[in-house]
């Protein structure tokens, strides 16, 4: 036995906690994974998900080589056959029917893989389809849109500086389970309790008394989908009590006066009935917020995935701006990634919005994507604009997208489906060819995306642990191989294009590097290859880098720092970070304010008479990823319908009994959990279950954790109108007692 100690970060969730691993290199076996006490961010903390990538690596049902469906049965095929046939069939469909005959779905796990993220844009650009869908429109896209409109970059997120805040208001998030989402914060419990130990308070506003609410000082129930009303009333109260005080933000913020008139109809009394939050409690919240020394307002997925997701996401930032809490210590601040990927370009970019529309209903694209809720109707479309092929990349839209059963059925009608995935799951089981990538243990990684959402700046490199099997490819290599073959090129050609493109971009955007010849940069980084070479270039050109000759950060230095590098607390970055015209914030952008009449119409209509469905997450769940792992799937059923005792009594439901839940698009039965942690009139089902489809090869999931797919109740016609994000929170449902079978 050859035991080696390896330090890396956890690749399962945004927190990216530091890990110390003991591995047997001879046997390709992980002996233990523990928290790294020398990691400055997590300080030895880990959650249950820290073992997940080990169990995925060990899962005997994980694919390690390509398979092809022949007469309804899977057969092993060579890598060459898989890549050649995939490229040829896609080219044939593109040549006969045009580029938009190919659709693509891009899943959430890609956000945890540096090399995939870096090369994906080239794949998308060369594929050039307008039928591109992603998990983003079932997640954070309203925040992308509101941030792009306010700050000029959809990936510049204000992150709560929780380590220095004294009044933290959390809406629609549950960081005790997520470890922070768009707020990457290892050991968030200690950080929130730190606020309390400093004499501050934590307030949670949510339709459910979540795990985060359990440790908070105050919890306010709010009716699902009404956060924008409450936040408008918050703004109204700031003006009414003369509490608008943007401080230094005033000098580069436009439109504040217009906000006063926009918020005028939304008094605390006017919104009390629709939100369920009494006017006096809302006024007290505003008073407490304004009286705190370092308050911050945070909103997350519950705000994004609702009927007014963009308005709610925008209003979180509006409150922080109006109270001077944006870009201020203890408020909402902007991380500074070592790779500088959220720094402004040399010229303000144009808004990537409504450049084309979906073929079926004419819905506008955003960020080059169409809403995932439109996948089924686009694939069902007949005639000239028919979808003929689908590519899925590490995604499971049958479970992750509204009305997934409709997507499942639509996939049956396509000429060709290829999945870049290592599981035969509810979506990939519909494929003709599956090409699996290596796992996180078989390639290196860098916490690229989450260095822009962290509560303290950091950089950490994760080395590969084991050699992959002969011929195995990383996800980025699969993307590059297929793209190259579709365009008469080689993978080496594409990697050279990527290298040249990155260097050109850096030289044009960084005046302090413009004197450098591109060949010098290539020569200085030649010791690395592929994505690691690109990472070295980005680090060296970044704000902490050596600028290819001086003192500063390089990939070699990062590799020599196994516990990661502390790059310091969040610091003010405005107005320099702004990528807007004249580096100013327009606080009332037209794309957003044009949706206010829809908000007003809903206020006039009043509260819904239906029961409303929301989602929830468990610490051992990560979307649909982890349910084929015995360590996570076993135990008490977590896929239950959470319902308030008042509603349960009225309907006649019993704890652990069965309820039938129905909506406009579907119905099923689920086990009942009765609890006063959910507000009356609201029910909750967890996301990511529904492992009931035949022909999958996930025996643990189908046996130990089948559950039901909450998304099969979600109406794919209902979206947040500006961003196209699915409305998965606040879904009208009918609940009755299930009849005995």
Q: State whether 587 and 721 are in the same domain.
A: no
Instruction: Answer whether residue 689 is part of any domain.
Output: yes
Instruction: Answer whether residue 306 is part of any domain.
Output: yes
Question: What pLDDT score does 741 carry?
Answer: 67
Taking only the tens place, the pLDDT of each residue in 403-439 is 999 999 999 999 999 999 999 999 999 999 999 999 9
Instruction: Answer whether residue 725 is part of any domain.
Output: yes
623 pLDDT tier (thresholds 50, 70, 90): confident
Q: State whether 584 and 721 are in the same domain.
A: no
Domain closes at, from 593, 621, 656:
593
Q: State whether 201 and 279 are in the same domain.
A: yes
Structure tokens at 409: 């059925």
Backbone angles phi, psi at 19, to 5 degrees: -125, 150
Contact 115, 122 (CB under 8 A): no
Q: State whether 659 and 587 are in the same domain.
A: no
Torsional sign, CA 121, 117, 421, 26 = positive
Taking only the tens place, the pLDDT of each residue in 97-132 is 999 999 999 999 999 999 999 999 999 999 999 999
- pLDDT over 70 (residue 170): yes
Q: State whether 589 and 613 are in the same domain.
A: no
Q: State whether 586 and 711 are in the same domain.
A: no
Strands (E), 590-640: 611-614
Q: State whether 707 and 584 are in the same domain.
A: no
What CA–CA distance (Å, rounded) separates 228 from 74? 49
- pLDDT over 80 (residue 624): yes
Instruction: Answer whether residue 706 is part of any domain.
Output: yes
Q: State whether 636 and 578 are in the same domain.
A: no
Q: CA nearest 302: which of 138, 481, 512?
A: 138
Q: Residue count of the chain, please give it.
A: 741
620 pLDDT tier (thresholds 50, 70, 90): confident
Domain closes at, from 534, 560, 593:
593
* Three-state secondary-structure class, residue 555: helix
Least confident of 11-15, 56-60, 346-350, 670-674: 346-350
Domain closes at, from 562, 593, 624:
593
- pLDDT over 90 (residue 2): no
Question: What pLDDT score does 509 carry?
Answer: 85
- Average pLDDT, stretch 40-62? 95
Q: State whether 694 and 637 are in the same domain.
A: yes
Question: What pLDDT score does 440 carry?
Answer: 97
- Average pLDDT, stretch 181-188? 95
Question: What pLDDT score does 38 carry?
Answer: 98
Number of structural domains the chain divides into: 2
Question: What pLDDT score does 372 carry?
Answer: 97
pTM over 0.95: yes
- pLDDT over 80 (residue 160): yes
Least confident of 164-178, 329-343, 609-623: 609-623
DSSP run (H or E) holding 169: strand 167-171
Question: What pLDDT score does 511 carry?
Answer: 82
- Average pLDDT, stretch 679-691? 97
- Average pLDDT, stretch 542-567? 96
Q: Are strands 29-35 and 18-24 parallel, antiparallel or unpaired?
A: antiparallel
Taking only the tens place, the pLDDT of each residue in 441-496 is 999 999 999 999 999 999 999 999 999 999 999 999 999 999 999 999 999 999 99
Instruction: Answer whether residue 302 is part of any domain.
Output: yes
Q: State whether 589 and 658 are in the same domain.
A: no
What CA–CA distance (Å, rounded) separates 720 from 717? 10
Question: What pLDDT score does 366 carry?
Answer: 96
Q: Quote the DSSP letter at residue 229.
A: H
- pLDDT over 80 (residue 153): yes
In Å, how far are 127, 136, 270, 308, 476 from 123, measured between CA atoms?
A: 6, 18, 49, 32, 9
Q: At 176, which CATH number?
A: 3.40.228.10
Contact 375, 363 (CB under 8 A): no
**Contacts of residue 476, Cβ cutoff 8 Å, sequence gap at least 6:** 113, 115, 116, 118, 119, 120, 530, 531
> What secondary structure, in 3-state letters, does 28-76 show?
CEEEEEEECCCCCCCCCCCCHHHHHHHHHHHCCCCCCCCEEEECCEEEE
Q: Are strands 461-462 and 131-134 parallel, antiparallel or unpaired?
A: unpaired
Mean pLDDT for the chain overall: 96
% the chain with pLDDT above 70: 100
Instruction: Answer whether residue 37 is part of any domain.
Output: no
Instruction: Answer whether residue 212 is part of any domain.
Output: yes
Backbone angles phi, psi at 553, to 5 degrees: -75, 140
- Average pLDDT, stretch 715-723? 96
Taking only the tens place, the pLDDT of each residue in 280-298 is 999 999 999 999 999 999 9
Q: Are strands 364-366 and 353-357 parallel, antiparallel or unpaired?
A: antiparallel
Domain that holds residue 579: 141-340+574-593
Q: CA nearest 183: which of 205, 149, 160?
A: 160
**Contacts of residue 652, Cβ cutoff 8 Å, sequence gap at least 6:** 737
- pLDDT over 80 (residue 346): no
Question: How many C-beta neighbours within 10 Å does residue 733 have?
Answer: 21
% the chain with pLDDT above 90: 94
Q: At 688, which CATH number?
A: 2.40.40.20
Q: State whether 643 and 704 are in the same domain.
A: yes
What CA–CA distance (Å, rounded) separates 318 from 320? 5
- pLDDT over 70 (residue 714): yes
Instruction: Answer whether residue 184 is part of any domain.
Output: yes
- Average pLDDT, stretch 690-713? 95
- Average pLDDT, stretch 303-331? 98
Question: What pLDDT score does 512 carry?
Answer: 85
Contact 570, 456 (CB under 8 A): yes
Q: State whether 589 and 614 are in the same domain.
A: no
What CA–CA distance (Å, rounded) separates 371 from 145? 13
- pLDDT over 90 (residue 22): yes
């Amino acid at each position: 036995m050859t035991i080696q100690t390896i330090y890396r970060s956890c690749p399962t969730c945004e927190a990216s906690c530091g890990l110390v691993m003991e591995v047997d290199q001879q046997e390709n076996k992980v002996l233990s994974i523990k928290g790294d006490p020398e990691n400055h961010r997590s300080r030895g903390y880990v959650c249950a998900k820290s073992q997940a990538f080990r169990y995925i690596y060990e899962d005997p049902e994980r694919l390690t080589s390509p398979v092809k469906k022949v007469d309804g049965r899977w057969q092993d095929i060579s890598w060459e056959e898989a890549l050649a046939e995939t490229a040829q069939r896609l080219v044939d469909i593109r040549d006969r029917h045009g580029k938009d005959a190919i659709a693509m779905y891009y899943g959430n796990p890609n956000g945890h893989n540096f090399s995939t993220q870096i090369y994906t844009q080239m794949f998308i650009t060369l594929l050039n389809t307008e039928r591109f869908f992603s998990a983003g429109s079932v997640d954070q896209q309203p925040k992308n849109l509101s941030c792009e409109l306010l700050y000029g970059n959809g990936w510049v997120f204000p992150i709560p500086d929780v380590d220095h805040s004294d009044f933290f208001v959390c809406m629609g998030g549950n960081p005790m389970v997520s470890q922070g989402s768009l707020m990457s914060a290892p050991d968030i419990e200690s950080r929130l309790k730190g606020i309390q130990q400093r004499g501050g308070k934590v307030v949670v506003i949510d339709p459910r008394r979540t795990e985060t609410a359990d440790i908070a000082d105050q919890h306010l129930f709010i009716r699902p989908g009404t956060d924008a009303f409450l936040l408008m009333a918050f703004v109204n109260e700031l003006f009414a009590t003369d509490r608008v005080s943007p401080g230094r933000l005033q000098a580069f913020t436009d439109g504040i006066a217009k906000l006063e008139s926009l918020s005028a109809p939304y008094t605390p009394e006017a919104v009390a009935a629709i939100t369920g939050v009494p006017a006096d409690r809302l006024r007290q919240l505003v008073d407490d917020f304004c009286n705190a020394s370092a308050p911050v307002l945070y909103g997350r997925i519950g705000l994004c995935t609702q009927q007014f997701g963009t308005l709610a996401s925008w209003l979180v930032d509006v409150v922080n701006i109006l109270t001077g809490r944006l870009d201020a210590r203890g408020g909402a601040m902007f991380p500074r990634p070592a790779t500088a990927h959220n720094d402004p370009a040399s010229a303000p970019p144009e808004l990537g919005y409504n450049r084309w529309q979906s073929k079926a209903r004419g819905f506008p694209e955003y960020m080059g994507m169409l809403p995932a809720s439109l996948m089924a109707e686009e694939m069902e479309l007949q005639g000239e604009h028919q979808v003929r092929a689908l590519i899925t990349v590490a995604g499971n839209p049958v479970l992750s997208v509204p009305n997934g059963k409709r997507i499942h059925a639509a996939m049956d009608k396509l000429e060709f489906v290829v999945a870049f995935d290592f599981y035969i799951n509810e979506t990939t089981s519909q494929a003709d060819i599956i090409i699996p990538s290596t796992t996180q243990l078989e390639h290196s990684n860098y916490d690229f995306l989450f260095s822009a959402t962290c509560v303290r700046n950091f950089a950490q490199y994760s080395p590969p642990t084991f050699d992959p099997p002969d011929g195995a490819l990383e996800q980025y290599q699969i993307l590059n191989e297929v793209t190259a073959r579709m365009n008469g090129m080689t993978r080496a050609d594409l990697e050279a294009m990527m290298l040249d493109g990155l260097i050109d971009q850096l030289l044009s955007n960084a005046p302090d590097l413009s004197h450098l010849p591109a060949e010098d940069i290539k020569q200085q980084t030649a010791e690395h290859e592929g994505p690691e070479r690109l990472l070295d270039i980005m680090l060296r050109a970044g704000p902490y880098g050596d600028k290819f000759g001086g003192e500063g950060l390089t990939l070699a230095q990062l590799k020599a720092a196994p516990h990661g590098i502390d790059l310091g607390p969040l610091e003010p970055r405005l107005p320099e970070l702004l990528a807007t015209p004249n580096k100013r914030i327009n606080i009332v952008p037209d794309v957003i304010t044009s949706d206010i009449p829809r908000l007003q119409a809903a206020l006039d209509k009043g509260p819904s008479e239906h029961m409303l469905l929301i989602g929830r997450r468990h610490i051992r769940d990560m979307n649909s990823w982890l349910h084929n792992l015995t360590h996570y799937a076993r135990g008490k059923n977590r896929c239950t319908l959470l319902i308030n005792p008042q509603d349960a009594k009225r309907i006649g439901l019993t704890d652990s009994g069965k309820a039938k839940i129905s909506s406009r698009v579907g119905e099923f039965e689920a086990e009942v959990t009765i609890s006063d942690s959910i507000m009356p009139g609201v029910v909750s089902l967890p996301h990511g279950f529904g492992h009931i489809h035949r022909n999958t090869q996930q025996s643990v999931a189908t046996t130990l954790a089948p559950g039901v797919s909450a998304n099969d109740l979600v109406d794919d016609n209902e979206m947040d109108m500006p961003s196209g994000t699915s409305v998965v929170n606040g879904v009208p449902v009918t609940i009755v007692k299930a009849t005995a079978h």
